[in-house]
Chain A
Amino acid sequence: MSNPDDNIQDFFSEMRKKDEQIPIPEFDELIRKRPRWRKMFFTSLGVAASLLIALNFYFGADKKTNIPENELVIILSGENEINTQSLISSEPSMNSWKSPSDFLIDDFNEW
């Protein structure tokens, strides 16, 4: 007695047989490697970043040496060049200090 699924089983076994000819990519080729699009993305990102750094170095260095000849640059040097002491007009005195609890000493009998 024949199996009703025989023709389907034959169909798939023929298909499998035919697929035996298909070359299978090496396992080691696929494992532990990033997919092509990721590799391409990171490679192009790396190239773009290095290009930006190189351009920055080139134009940055150019800017520094580009000082006009007739421009005068004054550089202050000395001990008190950034001394802000003169901005304080008066020194705090002990005579002007008032305690926050000063009012407690007031003599209420004077009222």
Chain B
Amino acid sequence: MNKIRLEHLLKEHHKDAFMWASQCCNYNREDGKEVLQITYLKIWERKAMYGGQSGFKTWLFSVIRFTAIDYLKKRGISFEELGKLQMVEEEQQVETDRINYRELLSRLPERQHQVLLLAFYHGMTLTMIADLMDLHIGTVRTHYERGKDALKEIILKERHE
């Protein structure tokens, strides 16, 4: 793939890629920006190459996810800690009187959280998610179903409170 085509595709998915990078970094936009920059650099320097086995978006999201894992590891943040979200202060202030979506999602186990984000927020199919997360389709389906049930409960509980 030539660089002009590659740049065009990256530009097309830039917004979604930034949102996904931030979501992989505890919804921290600065970290998300850094991760996306490293991802673009990897792609630009051909350290990560698109082979065409999956869709471009699936591949890009997968590179972002692995880059975020490495980035957080280097900074000493374990992936388990991702569940315990550190909300950005400004957002906490804005969201005091509204539903705090991120906080509610963070109550889910990390895999379920990511599968639901990819399915409902980014509109991906379970097959795409399986490719992206390097998991068996059956495992993804389990995370998807359990995640949905758990989130429904969380939403209901939130409404009653």
Interface residues of A (CB under 8 A from B): 5, 7-9, 11-12, 14-16, 18-19, 22, 24-25, 27, 30-36
Q: Which chain B residues border A7 with CB–CB below 8 Å?
A: 152, 155
Contact A30 B33, beta carbon cutoff 8 Å:
yes
Secondary structure of the B contact surface, majority rule: helix
In the complex, B34 has a CB within 8 A of chain A: yes
Contact A31 B10, beta carbon cutoff 8 Å:
yes
What are 16 A-B contacts with C-beta separation under 8 Å? A7-B152, A8-B120, A8-B152, A8-B155, A11-B104, A12-B116, A12-B117, A14-B99, A16-B121, A18-B101, A19-B19, A25-B18, A27-B11, A32-B40, A33-B41, A34-B41
Total cross-chain contacts (CB, 8 A): 56
Interface residues of B (CB under 8 A from A): 7, 10-11, 14-15, 18-19, 29, 33-34, 36-38, 40-41, 44, 98-99, 101, 104, 116-117, 120-121, 148, 151-152, 155
Contact A5 B148, beta carbon cutoff 8 Å:
yes
Q: Which of B7, B33, B99 contacts A31 (CB 8 A)?
A: B7
Q: Which of B37, B117, B121, B148 contacts A35 (CB 8 A)?
A: B37
A67 to chain B, nearest CB (A): 53
- Sample of 18 more A-B contacts, CB < 8 Å, known A8-B152, A14-B99, A35-B34: A5-B148, A7-B152, A8-B120, A8-B148, A11-B104, A12-B116, A22-B19, A22-B29, A24-B14, A25-B33, A27-B10, A27-B14, A30-B33, A30-B36, A31-B7, A31-B40, A33-B41, A35-B38
